[in-house]
């Protein structure tokens, strides 16, 4: 097993590949025979901008979905979003004799960037189809980005 840090970029014309961009990883890469088949588990580090976006989204949705005296917190909304996005575990409550759905962790150690991006896309889908049906996804994205960086645009893929 060889751990390598690689960058996805264009190769020859019409090709895209993973390439070693530092000599530090060359020795491990050389251990792979030319033309040899390898199994790859590609992970990406988490993106702090996405993390901030998710919490800003939960804050905005909590504001929009709160009514009268019942105020939702961003934590309540995040838990709801995670469960609706099917990112939960089932936990047996022996006192109430029923199964409860508890959100799985989303901390940086629990998920890599690829998994978190997939989850964030499901969360955004839940927001515009279940919580606020008919809301334009690009409008929601603009509002949440404005909360985070009103002076300049940030990219939250």
Domain boundaries, the chain: 1-42, 48-148
Residue 91, token pair as written in the block: 């936990």
Tokens 């088949």, residue?
37
CATH class of 48-148: mainly alpha
Average pLDDT for residues 18-46, to the nearest whole number? Answer: 81
Give the confidence band of 125 by pLDDT, cuts at 50, 70, 90. Answer: very high
Q: At what angle do helices 137-148 and 113-126 cross, to 10 degrees?
A: 120
pTM above 0.85, yes or no: no
Q: Residue 139 belongs to what H/E stretch?
A: helix 137-148
pLDDT over 90 for what percent of the chain?
37
Give the confidence band of 151 by pLDDT, cuts at 50, 70, 90. Answer: very low
Other CB atoms within a 10 A radius of the CB of residue 52 amount to: 16
């Amino acid at each position: 097993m060889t751990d390598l840090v690689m960058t996805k970029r264009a190769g020859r014309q019409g090709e895209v590949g993973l390439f070693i961009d530092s000599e530090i990883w060359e020795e491990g890469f050389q251990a792979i025979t030319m033309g040899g088949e390898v199994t790859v588990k590609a992970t990406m580090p988490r993106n702090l901008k996405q993390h901030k976006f998710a919490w800003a989204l939960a804050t905005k949705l909590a504001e929009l979905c709160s009514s009268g005296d019942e105020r939702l917190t961003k934590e309540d909304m995040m838990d709801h979003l995670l469960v609706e996005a099917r990112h939960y575990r089932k936990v047996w409550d022996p006192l109430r004799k029923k199964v409860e759905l508890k959100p799985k962790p989303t901390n940086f150690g629990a998920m890599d960037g690829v998994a978190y991006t997939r989850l964030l896309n499901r969360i955004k889908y839940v927001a515009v189809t279940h919580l606020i049906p008919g809301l334009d996804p690009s409008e929601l994205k603009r509002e949440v980005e404005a909360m985070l960086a009103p002076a300049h645009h940030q990219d939250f893929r």
